[in-house]
Homo-oligomer: A and B are copies of this chain.
Amino acid sequence: MSVALAERSRQADAPGPTPIPDGLIDALDTLQRPIVIGHVRPDADCFGSMFAAARSWPGKGRKVAHVALRAGSINRRLQFLFDWAAAPTATADDFQRADGFIVVDTAKHSRCNVDAALGEQWAGDRPIINIDHHASNTCFGRFDWIDAHAGSAAELVYRLIRAAGRPIDDVVASLLYAGIHSDTLGFSLPTTTASALEAAGDLVRCGARVAEIGERLCRSQSQAEFNLNRLIYGNTRVVADDRIAYSTANHDEITRTGCSAADVDDQVTIPRSIDSIKVAVLFTEGAPGKTRLNLRGERGVNVLDIALSLGGGGHRESAGAILDVGIDEAVKRVIPIITAALDAPVPKS
């Protein structure tokens, strides 16, 4: 059954959204003691879709299903979503007693945010229901619904809830709005579809707390996060005839802001925001002598090849690598490589 559903549901080239596979809603409805699972380092879409699913398919005699969250999984900035959801965190006993698992926004079994102490076989022969929007999903569930056309997993959970005729209260609406809004960068990415906007409109009618979500996700940061951004701004340099912008944060500097390596996330958007550039790089030394590179290519510049040549990986326009050197050495090594790549003749296609 898994394979057939997977084949039906992975229509990455199909023109429109992938329909909900037959039997999926029944499978959700029959779970008595489900646990809802997302990916490691959960973001707003992961939390939004997890917690909305946990409230919509709570199992028997509960208001909210248990959710799997390893210790330290809740980013300070996203704590409010957890508070709104009021979902209990699953213990090892809850895992024992569970009769199925709802996994959202998670491309691989090994990325599930499940305590390592439970082992690789935490599901055993119990069903995994796998709901995701990553084209790279490995279809590890007994039921897999993978729609790579959706900008967010929260949009998929929204569609499921509507198709199942389940109610959407203001909490579920808020959780789903946060997920859809966040994964489309405020409806500004190429993944922004009409159906995502229409879903969001429906969620506003259901009471989604737009202003509070906007405030917490888009317009506030801790002093430590502010200090880190200030540092990245201050250290930004534009080189190679305005074609490369890069910034740096060495280990001492990161520590002094009050942040740790875990807080380095998407700050490459700071050098990336300069409109003349073709490549943006952020060099961060999370641990002494270990420098992480975040690369972004603009206007079709392929940074994946650069990342691969440095032992890293990623996508064509968004890639990364880790070098076993300090930050100054990393800059000295990498900037000439990028410059050479920009100077190289473009291969004829």
Contacts and interface: CB of A to CB of B under 8 A. Distances in A.
Interface in A186-201: 186-190, 192-198, 200-201
A180 to B, nearest CB: 10
Contact of A200 (B181, B197, B218, B272): B197
Nearest to A190: B211
A144 to B, nearest CB: 27
A200 B187 contact: yes
Contact of A198 (B189, B198, B218): B198
Interface stretch (A45-53, A99-107, A221-229, A284-292): A221-229
A273 interface: yes
A333 interface: no
A213 B188 contact: yes
Contacts of A213: 188
Contacts of A111: none
Contact of A197 (B198, B211, B273, B274): B198
Contact of A187 (B181, B195, B223, B229): B181
Given A188-B210, A214-B185, A226-B236, A273 B221 contact: yes
A13 interface: no
Given A220-B275, A221-B273, A274-B223, A204 B210 contact: no
Measured as residues with beta carbon below 8 angstroms from the partner, the interface class of chain A is 35 or more
Nearest to A198: B201
A256 interface: no
Interface string A155-187: 000000000000000000000000001000111
Given A197-B197, A233-B229, A190 B218 contact: no
A120 B196 CA distance: 46
A236 B230 CA distance: 9
Contact of A185 (B193, B204, B218, B269): B218
A309 B275 CA distance: 41
A276 interface: yes
A310 interface: no
Given A197-B198, A197-B200, A233-B233, A226 B190 contact: no
A123 interface: no
A238 interface: yes
A258 to B, nearest CB: 12
Interface in A51-109: none
A276 B223 contact: yes
Given A186-B186, A188-B215, 11 more contacts: A185-B218, A188-B213, A189-B211, A192-B204, A196-B201, A219-B272, A222-B274, A223-B238, A226-B273, A226-B274, A230-B233
Interface of A: 181, 185-190, 192-198, 200-202, 204-205, 210-211, 213-215, 217-223, 226, 229-230, 233-234, 236, 238, 242, 269, 272-276
3 tightest Cβ-Cβ pairs between the two chains A and B: A186-B186, A188-B214, A197-B201
